[in-house]
Every structure is written in C-alpha cells, then in structure tokens.
Amino acid sequence: MDGAWVYLVTGGCGFVGERIVELLSRQDYIKEVRVFDSVAREEIEKLSTAATRVTVTRGDIRDLSALLAALQGVHVVLHTAALVDYRDTVPFGDMRAVNVGGEPHTVPSALPCPHTHTLEAPAGTSSCLSNGGTLRTCIIRANTIYGEKAAFLQELYLLARARNGVLNYLEPEDTERNLTYVGNVAWMHVLAARHLQLQPDLLAGQIYYCYDDTPSKKSFLVRHQLLSSADPSVRLGSHIPYWKMWLMIQLHRVIRAILPPFWRPQPFLSVALLNTIVTSFSFQTDKASRHFGYKPLFTWQESRLRTAQWLRAAAGSLGPPQLHEKKN
C-alpha cells in the first residue's frame, strides 16, 4: 500500500508540527498529509510535492465533529496540537479543555480504518474501535525544543538586546537539561509513525524521549551559544537568585490585580515555569535508535548554525514574543 497512505497532523501549523509536515511531504509512501489546526496557515500547502499532497483544514481540537470529518480515510495521526502557556495568561479552563479534553478526541472510536496508528496519544498498547479495527499508539516526548521559530529564543534575544547584549540566567550552574533541535524532533516523529505501521507489536504502547547530540550540561551555556552564534555582541551575564525572581513574580501578580483597567502590565514568568527552569531534567537513551533506527538528521553544529541564521534573518523584524503557542 506504499504511496497510498494518508496522514493527519493536528497542530500542523505549529512550531514542531510544521517541521513534521515538511518531512512527511518528502516521503514517497505517503499520498496525502492533512493538517488540522485552529490557526491554519494556507502557505503550509506549498509543502506539497509531486508524490504527496498537503491540505490544511482550520478547526478546533475540541470540536469533535470537525475532527471526525478531517479523520475520514486517515491511516496515521500525529497529534501535536496543544496550548502552551508559561505566563498565566490563558484561562485554566481553556488549557484543560485543549490539552486534556481535546486529546482523547484524536483517537475516537469512529476512526474509519481497520488499523489506525497514533503518535502523541494517551499511552496504551492498543484499543478496539467500533468498526472492529485496532488502534495502536506510541508517545514521543521532548524536553526543551529549540530551532527556527522557537518563541523562547526570540524572547531571550529581545531581552538580551534590551540589556545591551547581556544574557542573564536563572538555572544553578549544575543544572542539566536535554535540549533537542526541532528538525530532529520532527524526524523522530516521522520514523516512529512509519515503524508503528511496520512493527506495531514493538512500538505500540511505548514512550520515546527525544534526543540528539546537543549538549545537556549547563543549558544556559547552550542558549548563550545559540544566541551569540547569531549575534556576537550577546554575552553571558550573571545568575539571578531564585528568591529574587520569585519575589518579582509575586509583585507582578499584585500589580496585575490592582492596576487594571487603567494599565495592564506585560505578562510575566510563572512560578511553575520558574520551578521547572531551576530543576535538572536529563536522560540518556538510545531506545529510538534500537526500536526504529533513529539517527539525528542534524548535528549540534548544524542545528546551531540553522538557528543562528534564522535569528539573524529575523532580527530586524522581531516583535514582542508570543504569549502562548502550539507545542513543541
């Protein structure tokens, strides 16, 4: 059946989703890549190739009827749609409705194909569909994703420029965190999706952490390398103590509660994100390599260069950072 597969990417216009769609469109075993996104951009359809057509549908992941329509005839779903908010600017109800309530919608019992495969769905080896078919799923997990169009890099660069090139940091110096280039994260999704079809008994129910050769120790130094490769004037500043940032966050919360509607200050860092930043989270694994032959498409040097080129090109037009985005 190669050349006749239909893939659906939810959140396919987002940071990671767009790169997944780009790579899927180059695979000769795929006939069509459908994109389902609430902020659909028609230019994504330009990724179509002679062998693979890319189509975009605007829709909300919470709208089951719209999602079911997009799922008709789909063999594989890559679920990347999510609402990411690190500044407490999105109502909790919206976050829960999209990230918790919306996720099961991507694997409804009415899927039309006898053997359907889903990435980024709730964990589970398989589940039976109402038509007698079997749904097989696996999960791809990434920690911090960087690369072209990464909102957090845009924000850090704007902050550094506002401080005459000084890039301060919050992490203790012994903190470790795995960063992965967006192109490699997307490639892992593509390989896992294909092998979930070819070797469902091996991949179904598995969780795979994303990895490449990006350094993990002292992640603030990695960020500095990314920014300074784009702009040599960016220099590493000093460590900001946890207590000082915590107090600033609380003060900002009070100001936001008192001043509106007369003045609405810019959103600030949340305590939850602050706690995440100062906590080490790293891992060592070759599971994706063993299970489905994953090898990073881009080395650390290539990833850094591509990111720097994007930052340099965008430097003149960078505006205020986005308050929330689709993930990762």
User: What digits encode the pLDDT tens for the residues 4-59?
Assistant: 899 999 999 999 999 999 999 999 999 999 999 998 888 999 999 999 999 999 99
What is the structure's pLDDT at 266? 72
Residue 274 token pair:
């602050």
In the chain, % of residues over pLDDT 70? 85
| Higher-scoring residue by pLDDT: 174, 20 | 20
Confidence of residue 124 (pLDDT cuts 50, 70, 90): very low
In a domain, 307, yes or no: yes
Confidence of residue 174 (pLDDT cuts 50, 70, 90): confident
In a domain, 246, yes or no: yes
Q: Are residues 160 and 309 in the same domain?
A: yes
Q: Are residues 45 and 16 in the same domain?
A: yes
Q: Are residues 160 and 251 in the same domain?
A: yes
Q: Which of 91, 112, 141 is the endpoint of a domain?
A: 141
Mean pLDDT over each residue of the chain, to the nearest integer: 85
Q: Are residues 157 and 91 in the same domain?
A: no
In the predicted model, what is the mean pLDDT of residues 176-191?
96
In a domain, 316, yes or no: yes
Q: Are residues 75 and 152 in the same domain?
A: no
Q: Are residues 280 and 236 in the same domain?
A: yes
Decide: 122 and 112 in contact? Cβ < 8 Å.
no
Residue 283 neighbours by CB distance under 10 Å: 13
pLDDT in tens, 260-270: 777 777 777 88
**Among 163, 295, 287, which Cα is nearest to 235's?**
163
What is the structure's pLDDT at 45? 94
What residues pair up with 324 in beta bridges, in sequence order? Answer: 85
Q: Are residues 18 and 124 in the same domain?
A: yes
Examine the pLDDT at 128 and tell me if it is beyond 70: no
Active site residue 242: no
Confidence of residue 321 (pLDDT cuts 50, 70, 90): very low
Q: Which of 141, 163, 192 is the endpoint of a domain?
A: 141
Q: Are residues 118 and 170 in the same domain?
A: no
In a domain, 92, yes or no: yes
Residue 304 token pair:
């850094």
Non-local CB neighbours of 181 within 8 Å, separated by 6+ positions? 145, 146, 147, 212, 214, 296, 298, 300, 303, 306, 307
Confidence of residue 102 (pLDDT cuts 50, 70, 90): low
Amino acid at 260: P
Query: pTM of this prediction?
Result: 0.87
The DSSP annotation for 9-67 comes to EETTTSHHHHHHHHHHTT-TTEEEEEEEETT--GGGGGG--SS-EEEEEE--TT-HHHH
Examine the pLDDT at 126 and tell me if it is beyond 80: no
Q: Provide the CATH number for the domain around residue 47.
A: 3.40.50.720
The DSSP annotation for 123-188 comes to S-SEEE-TTS-EEEEEEEE-SEEESTT-HHHHHHHHHHHHTTTEEEE-S-TT-BB-EEEHHHHHHH
Q: Are residues 79 and 99 in the same domain?
A: yes
In a domain, 197, yes or no: no
Q: Are residues 162 and 111 in the same domain?
A: no
What is the structure's pLDDT at 121? 44
Decide: 208 and 142 in contact? Cβ < 8 Å.
no
Q: Cα(42)–Cα(30) distance, rounded to whole angstroms? A: 20
First to last CA, the chain: 31
Examine the pLDDT at 200 and tell me if it is beyond 70: yes
Catalytic member of 86, 146, 169, 181: 146
Q: Cα(41)–Cα(323) distance, rounded to whole angstroms? A: 19
**Among 134, 138, 139, which Cα is nearest to 116's?**
134
Q: Are residues 135 and 175 in the same domain?
A: no
In a domain, 21, yes or no: yes
Is the omega angle on the peptide bond into residue 91 within 30 degrees of 0, that is, cis? no
Residue 196 token pair:
């979930």
Q: Which of 141, 160, 192 is the endpoint of a domain?
A: 141
Count how many domains the chain has: 2
In a domain, 279, yes or no: yes
In a domain, 199, yes or no: no
Decide: 181 and 328 in contact? Cβ < 8 Å.
no
Task: State the residue range of the domain holding 101.
Answer: 5-141
Of the CA atoms within 13 Å of residue 265, those in its CB half-sphere come to 15
Non-local CB neighbours of 315 within 8 Å, separated by 6+ positions? 157, 230, 231
Q: Are residues 233 and 117 in the same domain?
A: no
Q: Cα(102)–Cα(167) distance, rounded to whole angstroms? A: 37
